[in-house]
Structure 1
Amino acid sequence: MTQSKVKATSEHHHDHGHNHVHSETSLKQIINRLSRIEGHIRGVKTMVSESRPCPEVLIQLAAVRGAIDRVSRLILDEHLNECVARAAQEGNIEEELQELKSALDRFLP
């Protein structure tokens, strides 16, 4: 699917082949947060290349981890509110929950 189609329809596809529709606002919020995280990671990389003190780098990495946790929560909330609810209405809740459990097994430590 092309990027313009994603923007135009707010649809995207997961590997499991289901069509998921999310609000443009939610997608923009998640993408903006990921872009900020990406910039923060570049900043940490620069800190390391400049041989900044390890405690400073660790503090920044903790901030990145917190940001990743927050965006992960947004994605999970979106999935529960939109995708799982839709699967329940469409009658394929068991499959959707199994896919979510599998993803959480890989995501959680």
Structure 2
Amino acid sequence: MTKPHRHASHPKLVARLKRAEGHLRSVVEMIEAERPCLEVATQLQAVESAIRNAKQALIHDHLDHCLDADSSEHDRAELKAITRFL
């Protein structure tokens, strides 16, 4: 699936990633403000979780909508490659 394509879920995924991006900027500000490490680590965990969930949503959506029984050998190879990110 190297050609450009868009799924119905992409706008929600972009919104989710933009929220995570803003959250990550806040974490940087926390570090610069010398906030306690436990607070920073807690917020970093939240950012990591948000990104992991976005990645999983993208991959599951791809599996649900881009691959079928008629998939080419290239598509099957892509399936194998993308599932390693789960």
TM-score (norm 2): 0.84
Which aligned segments of 4 or more residues in structure 1 are displaced greater than 6 angstroms?
Answer: none
Corresponding residue of 1:47: 30
Q: How far, CA to CA, are the matches of 1:70 and 1:47 in structure 2?
A: 23
Q: How far, CA to CA, are the matches of 1:31 and 1:21 in structure 2?
A: 12
How large is the Cα RMSD of the aligned pairs? 1.8
What pairs with 1:1-109 in structure 2 (closer than 5 Å)?
A: 17-23=2-8, 26-85=9-68, 88-89=69-70, 91-92=71-72, 94-105=73-84, 107=85
In structure 1, list runs of 5 or more residues that go unmatched.
1-15
Measure how far apart 1:19 and its partner are.
4.5
Paired residue total: 86
User: Which structure is higher in strand share?
Assistant: 1
Q: Among the aligned pairs, what percent are the same residue? A: 38
In structure 2, list runs of 5 or more residues that go unmatched.
none
TM-score (norm 1): 0.68
Q: Which has the higher contact order (CA 8 A, sep 6+)?
A: 2
Q: How far, CA to CA, are the matches of 1:66 and 1:21 in structure 2?
A: 24
Corresponding residue of 1:7: none
